[in-house]
Structure 1
Amino acid sequence: MVSNEVLIVILLAMLVTWIPRILPFILTQNRELPPVLVRFLSFLPVTIIFALTLSSIMDEQVGRLPVFLPVESLAVLPTFWVVAKTKNILLAVMVGVVTTALLRLVF
């Protein structure tokens, strides 16, 4: 049986993760954003994907310069090619996973 404290913590965690994702939609629902802000926000998906990709292909440790992980760095190449050609994220993820698995099998 789940205690009341655990249930409260789960509900609060849900609220904390839900608010920053839903609140912007609520606040801007019936408002027009300035063109400068719209132009800035148009770059966010690209920068977020780049940051996630870069963090997954690099190994960083305190006191050392970051280094590229060879298998992951090679797997990025066919994955990006698939994204550029097909614009299909699901297919790109599948290609990335299979490429990484094959490269790990070989190396």
Structure 2
Amino acid sequence: MIDRYVFLAILIALVVTWVPRVLPFVLTKGKSLPPLALKFLRFLPLSIIFALTLSSVVDERVGNFPRFLPIETLALFPTFFVVLKTKNILLAVVVGVAVTAGLRFLSGF
């Protein structure tokens, strides 16, 4: 039988992760946002993708300068090429993973 403490922790984690993702949709349903807010929101997907991409190709350690990971950085070029040509994010992810795996295999990691 599951412990009540663990069950309560899981429920709290569910609420904490679910509310910030769903609440904005609930609050703005049927309402129009000001033009300044819409202009700001247009840049969010690009900013999020850039932050995720940069965090995956840069190795940061306390006390050292950040450095680019060579294999992951090389995999960016074909991935971005696929995104620019096809505008298909799923295909770009598949290409990025495949190129990274191929480069790691060829380099002996």
- Give the TM-score range, shorter chain: over 0.9
In structure 2, the residue matched to 1:7 is 7
What is the match of residue 38 of structure 2? 38
Q: How many positions carry a matched residue from both structures?
A: 107
Residue of structure 2 equivalent to 1:24: 24
The alpha-carbon deviation at position 32 of structure 1 amounts to 1.3
Q: Structure 2-normalised TM-score?
A: 0.94
Deviation at 1:33?
Answer: 0.7
Is the partner of 1:55 in helix, strand or coil? helix
TM-score (norm 1): 0.96
User: Runs in 1 of length 4+ with deviation above 4 angstroms?
Assistant: none
TM-superposition CA deviations, 1:60-92 (whole Å, max 9, x none): 111111100000000011011111111111111
Q: Partners of 1:8 and 1:91 in 2: how far apart?
A: 39
Matched, 1:56 2:56: yes
Give the Cα separation in 2 of the matches to 1:98 and 1:29. 39
Structure 1: 5+ residue runs without aligned partners?
none
Q: Which amino acid aligns with 2:37?
A: L
Map 1:48-87; keep pairs closer than 5 Å.
Answer: 48-87=48-87
Identity, in percent, stands at 60
RMSD, matched Cα: 0.8
Secondary structure at 2:31's aligned position in 1?
A: coil
1: CA distance, partners of 2:96 / 2:60: 21
Deviation, structure 1 residue 105: 1.2
Letter matched to residue 67 of structure 1: R
Q: How far is the alpha carbon of 1:30 from its aligned partner?
A: 2.2
What is the identity, as a one-letter code, of the residue corresponding to 2:65? L
Unaligned runs of 5+ in 2: none
